[in-house]
Amino acid sequence: MIDVNGEIDRLSLMVSSLLIVTRLEEIELNMRPVDLYEEVDSIIKLFLPLADQYDIELINKCQKNVAVLMDEARFKEILINLVDNSIKYSREGGFVEISCIKREEIVELIVRDNGCGISEGDLHCVFDIFYRVDESRTRKTGGSGIGLYLVKKIVELHGWSIKVKSRLNEGTEFIINIKSGL
């Protein structure tokens, strides 16, 4: 029964992610200035119980007092997906570090972990819908391969860009170039 229950949770999560994906094109962004340090702080608080469970340290290395124009709810979805991945694909005792650096009109936001990493061959596919690296190895983590697709769509809706750098068995970083718009 516990297995079945877990599976139902997984499927309903997948259905709600798919609903977001299918409605993405119609979404109107509700843009307003948001402080990045505060935003990252609230996401870290959200993930603390899960991170504790896996003995993973969550670190907020953002510059303070950096605000950018964004749809806050959508931005939370970006961070939630990236941090969720970093925790899921990390090892016990690892870390997830979120940093942001303002460079003139661009703010660079980086979510970095020292987890299992992604091989060069898989790296260019990770933003594809339903793509999961090594399905058998990652089955226990129970995702659907929608998260990063959604992240990229939301990033592009804002007119921003995202790239990924990774080394197998060393770690991964997702870098978002945010137009500060202020």
- In this structure, are residues 101 and 108 in contact, taking their beta carbons and an 8 Å threshold? yes
- In this structure, are residues 31 and 64 in contact, taking their beta carbons and an 8 Å threshold? no
Instruction: State the minimum distance, in angstroms, from the CB of residue 13 to ligand ATP.
Output: 7
Residues that bind ligand ATP (CB under 6 A): 17, 81, 85-86, 89, 113, 115-118, 126, 131-133, 138, 143-149, 172
Q: Which two tokens mark 99?
A: 């940093």
Instruction: Select 67 or 94, whichever has its Cβ closest to ligand ATP.
Output: 94
Which listed residue (47, 147, 149, 151) binds Mg ion by CB under 5 A?
Answer: 147
Q: Which two tokens mark 66?
A: 């950096």
Instruction: State the minimum distance, in angstroms, from the CB of residue 57 to Mg ion.
Output: 20
**What are the strands, taking DSSP E only, across 61-120?**
67-71, 95-103, 106-113
In what helix (H) or strand (E) does residue 172 lie, and over which residues does it extend? strand 171-179
Which listed residue (17, 85, 86, 90) binds Mg ion by CB under 5 A?
Answer: 85
Examine residue 60 and tell whether it contacts Mg ion (CB under 5 A).
no
Instruction: Select 95 or 131, whichever has its Cβ closest to ligand ATP.
Output: 131
Rounded to the nearest 5 degrees, what angle is found at the Cα of 161, between the Cα atoms of 160 and 162? 135
Instruction: State the minimum distance, in angstroms, from the CB of residue 151 to Mg ion.
Output: 8
Instruction: State the minimum distance, in angstroms, from the CB of residue 87 to ligand ATP.
Output: 9
